[in-house]
Chains A and B, each alone.
Chain A
């Protein structure tokens, strides 16, 4: 059973009330007790994805065990819920939650996104419909603030925004020059960001932009192989550096603001981190794949 120390509510409130992003140089990741097991007592194995829902639910794509492991965020701990196993996702690699608690899971084997009820029952596959449908090869996806699915489609080199019916609401092209895009995030203003693992870049697009464009500079010096991205409530970007074993923080302008955590086995350290999300209180959750665990970091100044 995992326990999370009581949050520094006053500090978080002070930042929220000031209306400004925390001093980026001062962003610190305070590790809490890692999560090693799910509801059945079975240890987490090579988790690749994690999603933080608005209702205080965190779901882990426990890839190595072929299951989803939901947790309820309580003030002092993560309370495990029953695991979810289904033939539609033998190798879950990304997971998402909408505002009503519905779950979405990307399977690494079929490379399809399945929709599940809040109770974990399979509803169907999310696939583009309509005139602009076409085939889709999702590498990752995220549920946006409007409950639409933003899908990183590496098969057609674009971000596809799908509404609940599967209708394509918008297509955002990858940049003309790019390497391999691995993950995406959508901030509170509807701006989408994608991380390029091999070109060491972050790209972004505003609500009306037809294509992703570079944000900030080449991060080759600061990153080995980033595979996951998340935006906090202030619009700062956090990248999981898989091969470097760390978290890199970027400002809202994409500028490098610091590197946190590091390669290691002990709590607070990371090995091949591959998924990130922020909960409603601003805590950062990391799918620490190489360490078979979930790490939770309180963001402090």
Chain B
């Protein structure tokens, strides 16, 4: 009796365990196919698959006729009768694609978009890639492809293969999927010998960040320098900012923060010290380096990133407001923040480049053609005796949930803010 109970319990446990395991992990014949049907039953209907099977590279389960490793032949909650969600099904076998503690992971991998690069059945390319070589990467990273194509000088490994420097799935040690951190990666090919040191004015840059001056993909400037180069770098006057190359600390800066930059950029220092409002990062510990790269940049005026990204690092709420907004204010949408705001200092609140809102908006908008509603210095805001009516009395310049970035819904609330006699 006891033995029988034990057997029943064991059988029940086995059934539960088998059901709990993903289909892919099961062996044997979970769908009770007739002998000889495995790998053939599906092809009776899916006749086009013969071509896939003839491809040079075929996914192992496909080759083995294990269609049910990935597909449920009866029903599924997922498209294409997949046995699990498309974002997770690959990782049931390929669980080691992203190593633990990875420094960077390919966005496509992170999102489970394996089929963006791999054909799950078969392909003419190794690893079942949907395209061969760099063409695959440039399908998404077309901005890099375009830049390299337009560049006068191309970094040789880029033309050969993106995989020379990048891991396609994840990197255990560096950002941007790099195989190693810079400069270690660069020094794999570029030897820091005497000639190398001479080229860099005797400075020990082999310990530095090569990409602070060089575009690793390609450039139209010699030595693959970024498009916008700081004058002292361009003229090889490193000692203008750094201690002498022969000193004990050659990479040390001669002065800290804005004191150093102000030695040449007196106009900015003067602006910051004679204006009523300063952009506070200009005078904090990192000062100019909050926004500018000191050596070279892909972007104008040595900005560390495109303006919208750069300003958005601190003013994320403003960028988010624009993204939520029903209507788009072009300078905000395009990241032309300096159309309205001074980046370093100004005499006006919120660092506006004009004290008068109507004048400021008028630099782009012909407001006299806009409306017959009275605005200006002689029109007091009925809601507030210390304000005159201006563009911002009705519009919220960074965006709102109403049309024309109005502050209130025009039909219900905007006009009756002041014209209360019409309030219903």
Contacts and interface: CB of A to CB of B under 8 A. Distances in A.
Asked if chains A and B come from one complex, the reply is yes
Interface in B366-424: 381, 383-387, 393, 407, 417
A63 B285 contact: no
Interface string B95-129: 00000000000000000000000000000000000
B386 A180 contact: no
A94 interface: no
Contacts of B307: none
A225 interface: yes
Given A64-B349, A111-B278, A265 B383 contact: yes
Interface stretch (B15-23, B161-169, B224-232, B311-319): B311-319
Interface stretch (A2-10, A12-20, A43-51, A115-123): A43-51
A265 B387 contact: yes
A109 B273 contact: yes
Contacts, number: 85
Most buried by A among B257, B318, B386: B386
Given A156-B285, A179-B314, A265-B417, A91 B280 contact: no
Given A109-B274, A110-B273, A139 B280 contact: yes
A243 B350 CA distance: 11
A137 B284 contact: yes
Contacts of B275: 109
B314 to A, nearest CB: 4
A225 B281 contact: no
A293 B386 contact: yes
Interface residues of B, number: 31
Contact of A108 (B278, B285, B314): B278
Contact of A225 (B280, B313, B315, B385): B315
Interface of A, secondary structure class, is loop
A90 interface: yes
Interface string B272-302: 0111111011011100000000000000000
Contacts of A244: 317
A289 interface: yes
B193 to A, nearest CB: 38
A187 to B, nearest CB: 25
Interface string B189-224: 000000000000000000000000000000000000
A62 to B, nearest CB: 11
A36 interface: yes
Contacts of A289: 349
A111 B317 contact: no
A110 B283 CA distance: 11
Interface string B305-327: 00000000111111001000000
B276 A108 contact: yes
Contacts of A197: 314
A35 B318 CA distance: 29
Interface in A192-245: 197-198, 224-225, 243-244
Given A180-B314, A293-B386, A137 B277 contact: no
A291 B315 CA distance: 22
A86 to B, nearest CB: 15
A32 interface: no
B318 A243 contact: yes
A272 to B, nearest CB: 7
Interface in A25-49: 36-37, 43-46, 48
A292 B384 contact: yes
Contacts of A272: 349-350
A139 B381 CA distance: 32
A130 to B, nearest CB: 21
A155 interface: yes
14 contacts: A43-B385, A48-B349, A64-B349, A90-B276, A91-B276, A154-B284, A157-B285, A180-B281, A243-B317, A243-B321, A266-B417, A291-B384, A291-B387, A293-B386
Given A225-B318, A291-B386, 13 more contacts: A36-B384, A43-B385, A43-B386, A63-B349, A64-B349, A109-B276, A154-B285, A157-B284, A198-B313, A198-B316, A224-B321, A289-B349, A293-B384
Interface of B: 257, 273-278, 280-281, 283-285, 313-318, 321, 347, 349-350, 381, 383-387, 393, 407, 417
